[in-house]
Amino acid sequence: MTHGIAATPHHLASEAAADILRSGGNAIDAAIAANAVLCVVYPHMTAIGGDLFALIWPAGAQEPIGLAGAGRSGSLASWQALRNRGLSRMPEAGSLTVTVPGTVEAWGRLLERFGSLGFAPLLAPAASVARDGFLVTPGLAQALVESSLLLGGDAESARLLPPLRSGMLLRNQDLAESLAAIGRSGFNDFYRGAIAGRIVGALERRGGVLTAEDLAQHRSAWVRPVAFRYRDLVVYEMPPPTQGLAAVGLIRRLEAAAQAPPLVYVQALQRARDAVYPLRDSYITDPDFSPTPEAPFLDLEARGWGPGEELLEGDTIYLCTADEHGNVVSLIQSLAGTFGSGIVAEGTGVLLQNRGSYFSLEPSHVNRLEPRKRTMHTLIPALAGREGSCWAAFGTMGADGQPQIQAQVWHNLADHGLSAQEAVARPRVRVAPGGQQLWLEADHPAARQLLRSGAAGVQVLPPRSSQLGHAQALVRGADSGWQGGADPRADGSVVEV
């Protein structure tokens, strides 16, 4: 590695990161450029109308710092108001699920503190791809068809995101112009300028509850990661409102089974998930409204008091970058559900997230909908260190399943000594949302045993199924150089320059 390395779920994003590194940008610059391209080429997974979380290990630092770029609910949003409209639970999409998009402001905060380049050169590759067009991947083509009712219900979404076949060209001229405007003026245009006005207007026309003031007041938060020791390593996760503590609980509970036979590991994963997810759903929400205790997640015997929420399945992107100076970035970003709320603000090309669908309308629920509140987030980037320097960056898409997938990637790296590529490509297993089914890929070594046993609820998926996540990883090799892994379940690549 001369300049740096990047692992992303789409080759165009990896190439954008590589170009930034070649031109003298650092890992933070490269991550933002890659993220912006993903907001164009993976609209079913993410957009600049979504939220972002990142862990940054700055060059020379002894530990990382986190940035929580989570948007809040509207100041007019409350569980009482929606109950009065006759709703008993949050909608899965539509204007009532839109929370303030946190991504663009988070980019700005990252650049202010750690970046070496400005917005313009970092967003130029994404704007170019949006303007000139890109080839639709098989996954995007499938998502466009499967979400045709959602997208067809909104005139602007239907115009910009029609059903297309794999290999066809997709352009978004409005998004190209929005990215160029942000490149010129920074994030202010998105939260206080013309783009903000169009977003608020679009939501008002659709009965939404975000105001201009809600956008203007948005701020990301610098946070201290949750850290725990794993043998001679320290693992770092995002604190609440993310489910990072659920990943902590799973990894700790699975440590004793990490090198067990595959069937034993799968059974241990099921038990760990059944213990940890109810804890997550009992405790985790916006810490400004209700602090989350860490102790139950670290206690190997603790359990929550409910069955666990059946969270909406979603789509997400995860990427990681490192540079020659020693900076490392672990970044995750999402719209929540596939194509988010299904709403594109007219004249912007910006898909808006449906992260508000994760709120509860139950008055006693810790994550109940309240004005200007951040919901419990599934997004969890991770880092690991050894003796005060970064050893690995890893993460995945997969919504509710992220802690389970992340734990398996971690054990592949830390316990089985696999390369980064082997760790993210290895067959995986996952307890499905709701906890009633076990998903595993057909080439998983425990698949035949589970099928022969007649265990209830086992669903065998094709190898390399997207339902088992799109993971990326970087790990430091014996020569102190970085090696990367890009999940073959996606369309990504590792680029080293």
Q: What percent of the residues of the chain are helix, what percent strand, and what percent coil, each to the nearest 5?
A: 40, 20, 40
Q: Which two tokens stand for residue 387?
A: 């003796």
* Residue 315, pLDDT above cutoff 80: no
Query: Confidence class of residue 233 from pLDDT cuts 50, 70 and 90?
Result: very high
Q: Which two tokens stand for residue 481?
A: 């150089």
Contact by Cβ (8 Å): 348, 199: yes
The pLDDT assigned to 132 comes to 98
Is 316 a catalytic site residue? yes
Mean pLDDT of 349-357: 97
Mean pLDDT of 439-444: 96
The pLDDT assigned to 304 comes to 53
Contact by Cβ (8 Å): 35, 317: yes
Mean pLDDT of 134-159: 97
How many percent of the chain have pLDDT more than 70?
97
* Residue 311, pLDDT above cutoff 60: no
Average per-residue pLDDT for the chain: 95
Mean pLDDT of 48-55: 98
Mean pLDDT of 363-373: 97
Task: Return d(Cα 216, Cα 275) in angstroms, integer.
Answer: 40
Mean pLDDT of 52-67: 98
Residue ranges in 206-350 assigned as alpha helix (H) = 212-216, 244-254, 262-283, 295-298
Task: Return d(Cα 214, Cα 216) in angstroms, integer.
Answer: 6
CB hemisphere CA count around 164 (13 angstroms): 19
Q: Where are the domains of the chain?
A: 4-222+316-358, 227-313+399-488
* Residue 77, pLDDT above cutoff 70: yes
- Nearest in space to 7 (alpha carbons), one of 420, 383, 480, 481: 420
Backbone dihedral region for residue 186 (phi beyond 0: left; psi -120 to 50: alpha; all else: beta): left
The pLDDT assigned to 314 comes to 63
Contact by Cβ (8 Å): 83, 166: no
The pLDDT assigned to 477 comes to 86
The pLDDT assigned to 310 comes to 52
* Residue 303, pLDDT above cutoff 80: no
Task: Return d(Cα 494, Cα 477) in angstroms, integer.
Answer: 15
Mean pLDDT of 123-134: 99
Q: Which two tokens stand for residue 27?
A: 């890992």
Q: Which two tokens stand for residue 409?
A: 């990637």
**Cβ of 61: how many Cβ atoms within 10 Å?**
16
How many percent of the chain have pLDDT more than 90?
92
Fill in the amino acid letter for 310: E
Chain centroid, CA 319 distance in Å: 9
| Strand, coil or helix: 31 | helix
Q: Which two tokens stand for residue 358?
A: 């994760």
Q: Which two tokens stand for residue 434?
A: 């709701």
CB hemisphere CA count around 222 (13 angstroms): 9
Fill in the amino acid letter for 331: L
Burial class (CB in 10 A: 0-12, 13-18, 19+), 24: exposed
Summary count for the chain: helices (H), strands (E): 18, 20
Task: Return d(Cα 88, Cα 70) in angstroms, integer.
Answer: 25
Among 316, 321, 348, 375, the one annotated catalytic: 316
Mean pLDDT of 247-259: 95
Task: State the angle between helix axes of 173-185 and 119-132 in degrees (0 to 180), rounded to the nearest 10.
Answer: 170
Contact by Cβ (8 Å): 163, 140: no
The pLDDT assigned to 427 comes to 98
- Nearest in space to 396 (alpha carbons), one of 383, 384, 388, 405: 405
The pLDDT assigned to 1 comes to 62
Fill in the amino acid letter for 417: G
Bridge-based pairing of strands 458-461 and 438-441 is parallel
The pLDDT assigned to 305 comes to 46
Query: Confidence class of residue 307 from pLDDT cuts 50, 70 and 90?
Result: very low
